[in-house]
Structure 1
Amino acid sequence: MTEQRSGRLRSVGAQVGVPIATAVVLVVVLRALYPPGGLETRVFDPALVAGGCLAGQLLYVSHSVRRSGAEQRPLFGLFGVANALTLCRGSLYAVVAGFVVVAPETMFAWGPALFYGAGAVLDRLDGAVARTVGEVTLLGERLDMAFDTFGFVAAPLVAVAWGQLPVWYLSISSARYVYRAGLGWRAFRNRPLFDPPDSNLGKYLAGTQMVFLTAALAPTVPTSLVWQVAPFVLLPSLLVFARDFLVVTGRIGAEQ
């Protein structure tokens, strides 16, 4: 076996092994925390669901960074302070996803709100830490985006499954995937793509979504109130996705 091939195998092994090992640690920790009979699950083990979600996110990030060629060993650089905070946030969101397979009558009914709210707090910290200590990397950016998107899938899914949000609120979960698919289709057809608008509005609306989803997951917040407020929180975010797509595809704000 040549040295080049051996190095490539080690790199692939790290890119696969680190996500799986991280997910296994999460599963073991959750299994130890859940008391016997403490969770009334529907079908699957929530610890395995959480671990699988975290592994999938890390594998996606590792693969996308490796394909970009910007970092030769992307997951070896995972353990900076900022990336550690982002990884903790992703783990919290993965735990939230595990509650999709848990009955809402569980003794851990406060779990989704607490874990998602803690992840939202970390979201305010990891970027600031990265800029402060000089750890802004492509890996960190991809991790941050992947976990942001995943959080907006996991939290609404749990809220809908537990009857705390209407099913149409899941449109926020699919919005970024639809947006990316639209851009991918345009690129496939060799159509031009432009820079997105320079605006912080999307960040502010994302923060509003996080606060609202945390409240929606809290057992003490009246469901009727959440349903009444939901359209007013959802619509601006969807409109921003639509605006960004129109700008990036050159339909507004740019010459074809």
Structure 2
Amino acid sequence: MTIGRATAPDAPSRGAAAGLVVLFALLAALSATVGIGAVGWLAGLAYGAVLTGALVVGARRTGLRRLGAANLVTLSRALLVGGVTALVAYSFERPAPTAVLVALVGVALALDGVDGQVARRTGSTTALGARFDMEVDAFLILVLSVYVAGPLGWWTVAMGAYRYVFVAASWALPWMNRALPPRFSRKVVAAAQGVALVVATAGILPASVNLVVVAAALVSLTWSFVRDSAWLWRAERAHRATVAATTHTTPLAVPVRRRQPAPIPASVSA
């Protein structure tokens, strides 16, 4: 049977499907070595299904015909995050293997800067790639913040929840969707979250030190979000002021009455 172009899956769909197969193999390897249980399988596969669907939909909306090298690197990171998700989910039943968990997280974070460099060097930077990279980072931070909540307290989940609270707020307040100016400090704060959570996950420092490190990272993240939100609000106020000034200075149109033609006498029309 020959599959025509109209019915054949596109390259992003094939890439996402291949990623799902690789994730299944990773979960099987973790299950056979350290164990992830049924809850780990469920969490990992659910994550993979959402990842695949979101990637395919995003590619079709943006007209992306192939993933490219940079997105493949990001997809590799995303698959590692799937393994981390399975281990963290299973940690609610029994202690997770710290060495394996930290190794997966470490490789995922190490690859964080690789996809961006590949995109710039190959001239394949896209809006989808940037969004894909950001969402993978955000979900990894969320999963790790849930994991360290065990020894440190559930306040740590705020680190992972900030991104999703911001997205939810932008649905209600469209002005929060405005593009933010690039800032190096924002990258530093984002990197600090990963470092702090990895240190706390590894458990190589005393609990009191981990508490201070993660709390400091949360404070810096809060400062970053407050500053960005304030900038967005000031930009919105400036935009409203400009619109209002333009509206007040534009002269009102004066209605012009059209001259009606004189009625034709009945004798002429007849």
The answer to whether structure 1 residue 32 and structure 2 residue 29 are counterparts is yes
Aligned to 1:93: 81
- Give 1:60-99 correspondences, 5 Å limit: 60-67=54-61, 70-71=62-63, 74=64, 76-78=65-67, 80-99=68-87
Aligned to 2:107: 118
- Separation (CA, whole Å) in 2 of partners of 1:183 and 1:108: 38
CA contact (8 A) 1:202 1:240 kept: yes
Aligned to 2:251: none
The answer to whether structure 1 residue 59 and structure 2 residue 56 are counterparts is no
The answer to whether structure 1 residue 214 and structure 2 residue 198 are counterparts is yes
Deviations 1:135-161 (A, max 9, x none): 21233222112211111111112222x
Deviations 1:168-225 (A, max 9, x none): 11112111111122222122xxx68644233121111111111111111114333232
Residue 10 (structure 1) shift: 4.6
Aligned-residue sequence identity (percent) comes to 26
The unaligned stretches of length 5 or more in structure 2 are 241-270
TM-score, normalised to structure 1's length? 0.79
Pair 1:132–1:173, CA change in 2 (3 A)? same
Aligned to 1:102: 90
Amino acid at match of 1:211: V
The alignment partner of 1:197 has SS state of coil
- Separation (CA, whole Å) in 1 of partners of 2:103 and 2:125: 28
The answer to whether structure 1 residue 174 and structure 2 residue 161 are counterparts is yes
Q: CA RMSD in A?
A: 2.9
The alignment partner of 1:131 has SS state of helix
- Give 1:120-159 correspondences, 5 Å limit: 120-159=109-148
The alignment partner of 1:250 has SS state of helix
TM-score, normalised to structure 2's length? 0.75
- Separation (CA, whole Å) in 1 of partners of 2:178 and 2:128: 23
CA contact (8 A) 1:155 1:213 kept: yes
- Separation (CA, whole Å) in 2 of partners of 1:94 and 1:203: 23
CA contact (8 A) 2:90 2:96 kept: no
Aligned to 1:186: 173
Aligned residues: 237
The alignment partner of 2:173 has SS state of helix
The answer to whether structure 1 residue 205 and structure 2 residue 189 are counterparts is yes
- Separation (CA, whole Å) in 2 of partners of 1:166 and 1:192: 30
Aligned to 1:19: 16
The unaligned stretches of length 5 or more in structure 1 are none
